[in-house]
Structure 1
């Protein structure tokens, strides 16, 4: 059974997300899961050109940045409801395991961005025997 690292501050990420969403942009939702060899991150980015999306990984922190622009001009006062968000977006999340960020691959298909990041090899623990000698008085 693998040990899962608990981060007591992770809950505050939800609060950051709340304030970021209130600032006019949007924060894409993420699904993160793992296979035997990789961490997989999926995020729905329907209607966003893959050329306008940037994915980066540094120190096991994944960042997804991009922008979306309004395709048609509509006078603001003609809206009955305005829920579609336009502008730039950003999402960063610490990945749950060490990864090889330089070998990550991202593919956009049918509005879903799928990022596959190989896991870093686990450091193997090694038992070391230490000889104890009697000291002088």
Structure 2
């Protein structure tokens, strides 16, 4: 009689994975501690373009708008800030701290020229939205082709 066994097409991959996990845990400690290894953080950004403007959205929850600074120099936009840690309560023992605190800076090069004097920034529900109107040279003009 034949005995059925589960088919594992790449047994060496699962073995390699277990070995890599073991080495990582030996080197860095338990994997639960890994999120705490990053000393700095940076907000996630979305950059989109409309016909008239560039729109940058940054996810920065829990911040006071007065702690956010935006600088525009030529074609470079920089967003800086500091997310302050909440004061600790007496007698409160933390089991896990994963929220990020501290200073951050995100810099990005803009793909088109913008009207620096018309930039608008708003902060609502943890999202910073920066609207950068394009200069005329940056706008694409569609030219109609006429039949001759």
**TM-score interval for Structure 1 and Structure 2 normalised by the shorter chain:** 0.5 to 0.7
Structure 2: gaps of 5 or more residues? 1-36, 139-148
Alpha-carbon deviation of 1:72?
2.0
Q: Which has the larger radius of gyration?
A: 2
C-alpha separation in 2, matches of 1:79 and 1:25: 20
2:65 match: 50
CA distance in structure 2 between the partners assigned to 1:99 and 1:37 by the alignment: 10
Give RMSD over aligned pairs.
2.0
The structure with the greater share of residues assigned to helix is 2
TM-score (norm 1): 0.67
Q: Aligned with 2:114: secondary structure? A: coil
- Structure 1 unmatched runs, 5+: 1-21, 124-137
Whether the aligned pair in 2 keeps the contact of 1:105 and 1:115 (CA below 8 Å) is yes
2:39 to 18, 21, 24: 24
Contact 1:60 1:101 survives alignment (8 Å)? no
- Determine the structure 1 residue equivalent to 2:50: 35
Residue number in structure 1 paired with 2:22: none
Establish whether residue 120 from structure 1 lines up as the match of residue 135 from structure 2.
yes
Q: What secondary structure, in the 3-state scheme, does the structure 2 residue paired with 1:78 have?
A: coil
- Aligned equivalents of 1:74, 1:60: Cα separation in 2: 45
TM-score (norm 2): 0.62
Distance 1:91 1:104 in 2: 17
Shift of 1:79: 2.8
Q: Deviations over 1:6-53 (max 9, x none)?
A: xxxxxxxxxxxxxxxx66221111100011110000011110000100
2:109 counterpart residue number: 94
Kindly tell me the number of residue pairs found equivalent between the two proteins.
101
